[in-house]
Structure 1
Amino acid sequence: MNGTTSNGVKIANSGVQVQTQINPYTPRYADLLSRVNNFSIIESTLREGEQFANAFFDTATKIEIAKALDDFGVEYIELTSPAASEQSRQDCIAICQLGLKAKILTHIRCHMDDAKIAVETGVDGVDVVIGTSSYLREFSHGKDMAYISAKATEVINFVKSKGIEVRFSSEDSFRSDLVDLLSLYRQVDTLGVNRVGIADTVGCANPRQVYELVRTLRGVVSCDIECHFHNDTGCAIANSFAALEAGATHIDTSVLGIGERNGITPLGGLVARMYTADKDYIKSKYKLDKIRDVENLVANAVGIEVPFNNYITGYCAFTHKAGIHAKAILNNPSTYEILKPEDFGMTRYVSIGHRLTGWNAVKNRVEQLDLTLTDDQIKQITSKIKKLADIRPQSMEDVDTLLRDFHHAVISGDPSHVENVLSTPAVN
């Protein structure tokens, strides 16, 4: 008989099972609730990002960041509560008046005083939050679940009466009692909120926990589900992806992940992850070549460098060094790149001035320099590069000079000139 089992094993006529090759990055089945190719980004650099240790955004900088995020294509931009300070209120009004395509949200405590200030700024929506874990109920606001329920009803009804979006979120969701949490979400869903929110406020959750909670919540509420993940234990991006797989609809991000402590899901990191899940969807939604400009803008504003290993834009993100890697990359970039640098306005770089270099990578550079050398000659000069690199790293300028000198010696036709280049001792 012929056929294929559920795990990708092909059954031949003889009845012998033959394992077929399956791309491990390709989904093997569809999760009926998945929103991996249908989600929105709530960009919180101008709210969560203001809580970053180095952050101070004046009005002009906030406007510049908001415009850059809007140009990139995020669906929502979240701002610091206008109740935080008079300047925060003025900044909120100013950004609301820019006429951006993105919806403008502000994030407030579950308190009528905050809500009244927020709705007067012209925002498109208000994100309401209150702590629900035993830690926050005891050591932060000191209120019980009955108080939280009553206050949520009051604030939500007020915001809805103004005709703008409202999201209600628990804080410290993953350390909250599940029964309390689901009861509260069911209540606010019946009030007509646009979204309910889950917040991993201390970064303690793992992807399995996230999937289970979002999947459970999806069966309790009919509204959208927003997720906010802190990165204290390095799971923010993975948790965001798991949430979308389980049916979440909105993910909170910040540029470079800046925020309280180690921050939250980074915008670039989420985009990189989702690109591998559905490249065409991500390319159609966002101007991917703008991500570097947005990150440089925010990095300059808060006085930090973009990390060397940053998703997409780090200077090592598309740098290849090992000889076997370089050969494969030059033949077919997808051998060692799951992201296409050109889709993000980036370029790959094959490093050759080191002891791990291979002659194929050197050959590629020879061709870029429009030099004419045989494969045997390239292997000779590659050996020289490796010897020099055993003593000290060779810059691209060092390598280019050596290649040009060797090429000049070769075309001179004098073997002694060639030998002289190959035997020249390295300079310490």
Structure 2
Amino acid sequence: MATNVKIFDTTLRDGTQGEGISLSVEDKMKIARKLDSLGVHYIEGGWPGSNNKDIEFFTRVSELQLKNAKVTAFGSTRRKDTLPENDMNLNRILEVGVPVATIFGKSWDFHVFQAIQTTLEENLAMIYDSVRYLKSKGLEVIYDAEHFFDGFKNNRDYALQTIKKAEEAGADWIVLCDTNGGSLPHEITEIVTVVKQTVAAPIGIHAHNDCELGVANSLAAVAAGATQVQGTINGYGERCGNGNLCSIIPNLQLKMNYSCISAEQLQSLASVARYVSEIANMHMPMNQPYVGSAAFAHKGGIHVSAILRNSSTYEHITPELVGNKQRVLVSELAGQSNLVFKAQELGLDFDNDNQQTKQLIEQIKEMEHQGYQFEGADASLELLIRNAYGKLEEAFKVESFKILMFKNENQPVVTEAIVKLNVQGETVYNAAEGNGPVNALDNALRKCLQQHYPALQNIHLSDYKVRVLDEKDTTAAKVRVLIESTDFNNSWSTVGVSDNVIEASWDALIDSIRYALLGKPKVELHVEEQRERLGLVNH
């Protein structure tokens, strides 16, 4: 039977310390609901002693009626030379009414002398008194031993004394923190092994990613006996981030035979990762393991030919286990197998020697020579393929658009777009302002379409990139615009190329809306069905 490992998510606390991340109370509520559905065991909501926003979150989190996760509040041990019952931070944890408290204390003698400027004996008393006080109030207490690995390397005996004091006081968990993120996996293994021989309380690991070893160190700790892992979704966190739960959980569960969450919950991992990145307004790296859009993407024709026969040739797991999917990219490097796969995925029936297929490959290669990039714009590619095979029904036709920009002295620039469409035989004409030409065009386009297609109100642009293709032509250079759109459940990318940045943006924007209006569910075949239709069934 697989050993259980408890997952402790600190996205709402440690994750928000990452540069560029700021979550409102509503944001934190939405993410907490998602984390609970994922099946994490603990959600660290914040530090109620530090700000009013976290206090409001703890006040409201009971509204969510979480089914799987316990909510925990974060804080420090009591201040030096202070009784725990008089310590504001400890009492704030009690006031917010959580069932679990997570408090940190110093394990490194260097920090005791330099950071809190007290004696080694007083630091031990601070740890013992704080844990004992919270336990006396009926809370589950998780003790985070800050800088434990650095402390152990510098003064082994004292670092071990600190966690033994927490255990003596009744701590339910002892979590070893690699706070500076500077330890190596073999060091983690050796030190956790010693700790397991020193204390009887269950052990956890809290790894930072400063050496890009947050995931590896977390796995090493579990292999050495830790049964709780702390981390964040997408690895968000201070400096280089925390251990990435989106890699830690599937590695533990699919590779190391530990039990963290149910198989059904694991299948939601990719969608949770995307959801959190959207709420945090952070771009999610496409090459992120397990959950990134490129994690199971194939570009080279030889690779694609192989995965059509057996996906295990170039995939280490079945993508659907983590809620991801296999993707085949079409580009100037693509062979016929790539396009056959994409067309079959869309339910378009043709044989490998179809002349239309060959013509489409040449068209795509020529367009990429001009600057298009379809490997990063699946939605534009799908529209192109559907159109080539007569399977694209136009939801609307563009008749014209116009952009006006004006500026008064000491006033910001005002941009207005006027769009004229033919929608279902009706001429629709609308104008809208925006904070730039693309935003104004987007707003005007939606005003024209939302009466006929109200679902568009749930779709928004999540990313916009412009790349100059011919720098030597300076301001007359051709540009490529990539737009990413989302409805929170799905995301898609479109591309436009022109020597006019507005036209390139408009083309990408139009593709985005047309793709959104294709209708759900689109015709898609499972991998096995694709192989069967191509005569590549495994025996």
Q: TM-score range by the shorter chain?
A: 0.7 to 0.9
- 1:264 partner letter: N
1:225-374 aligned at under 5 Å gives the runs 225-278=203-256, 281=259, 284=262, 287-351=265-329, 353-368=330-345, 369-374=347-352
Q: How big is the shift at 1:216?
A: 0.8
Match for residue 178 of structure 2?
A: 200
Q: How big is the shift at 1:243?
A: 0.6
Match of 2:107 among 120, 132, 142: 132
Aligned partners of 1:289 and 1:400: how far apart in 2?
A: 29
Q: How big is the shift at 1:93?
A: 2.8
8 Å contact kept, 2:109–2:158: no
Q: How big is the shift at 1:97?
A: 5.6
Match for residue 32 of structure 1?
A: none
Match for residue 150 of structure 1?
A: 125
Match of 1:400 among 362, 385, 391: 385
Greater strand share, 1 or 2? 2
Q: CA offsets per residue over residues 54-80 of structure 1, 9 Å max, x none?
A: 232222222111111111110001121
- 1:108 partner letter: G
Match of 1:109 among 76, 85, 99: 76
Aligned partners of 1:46 and 1:73: how far apart in 2?
A: 16
Identity %: 27
8 Å contact kept, 1:50–1:80: no
Q: Any idea what SS the aligned residue of 1:219 has?
A: helix
> Structure 1 402/324 Cα, relative in aligned 2: closer, same or farther at 3 Å?
farther
> Structure 1 286/170 Cα, relative in aligned 2: closer, same or farther at 3 Å?
farther
Q: CA offsets per residue over residues 159-180 of structure 1, 9 Å max, x none?
A: 1111111122221112112111
Q: 5+ unaligned residues in a row in structure 2: which ranges?
A: 79-83, 375-380, 391-496, 499-539
Q: 5+ unaligned residues in a row in structure 1: which ranges?
A: 1-34, 406-426
Match for residue 70 of structure 1?
A: 36
Match for residue 11 of structure 1?
A: none
Match for residue 222 of structure 1?
A: 200
Aligned partners of 2:358 and 2:53: how far apart in 1?
A: 66
Aligned partners of 1:390 and 1:188: how far apart in 2?
A: 62
Aligned partners of 2:104 and 2:218: how far apart in 1?
A: 19
TM-score (norm 1): 0.78
Q: How big is the shift at 1:375?
A: 4.5
Moved more, 161-170 or 206-215: 161-170
Moved more, 323-332 or 185-194: 185-194
> Structure 1 398/108 Cα, relative in aligned 2: closer, same or farther at 3 Å?
closer
Q: How big is the shift at 1:237?
A: 0.4
Aligned partners of 2:215 and 2:21: how far apart in 1?
A: 22
8 Å contact kept, 2:77–2:103: yes
Match for residue 481 of structure 2?
A: none
Q: How big is the shift at 1:319?
A: 1.1
TM-score (norm 2): 0.63
Match for residue 168 of structure 2?
A: 190
Q: How big is the shift at 1:208?
A: 0.6
Match for residue 17 of structure 1?
A: none
> Structure 1 282/80 Cα, relative in aligned 2: closer, same or farther at 3 Å?
closer
8 Å contact kept, 2:107–2:162: no
> Structure 1 154/394 Cα, relative in aligned 2: closer, same or farther at 3 Å?
closer
- 1:251 partner letter: V
- 2:335 partner letter: G
Q: How big is the shift at 1:342?
A: 1.7
8 Å contact kept, 1:74–1:286: no
Aligned partners of 1:105 and 1:273: how far apart in 2?
A: 25
Question: Alignment RMSD, CA only?
Answer: 2.9
> Structure 1 282/126 Cα, relative in aligned 2: closer, same or farther at 3 Å?
closer
State yes or no: 1:56 paired with 2:30: no
8 Å contact kept, 1:44–1:254: yes
8 Å contact kept, 2:44–2:72: yes
- 2:95 partner letter: E
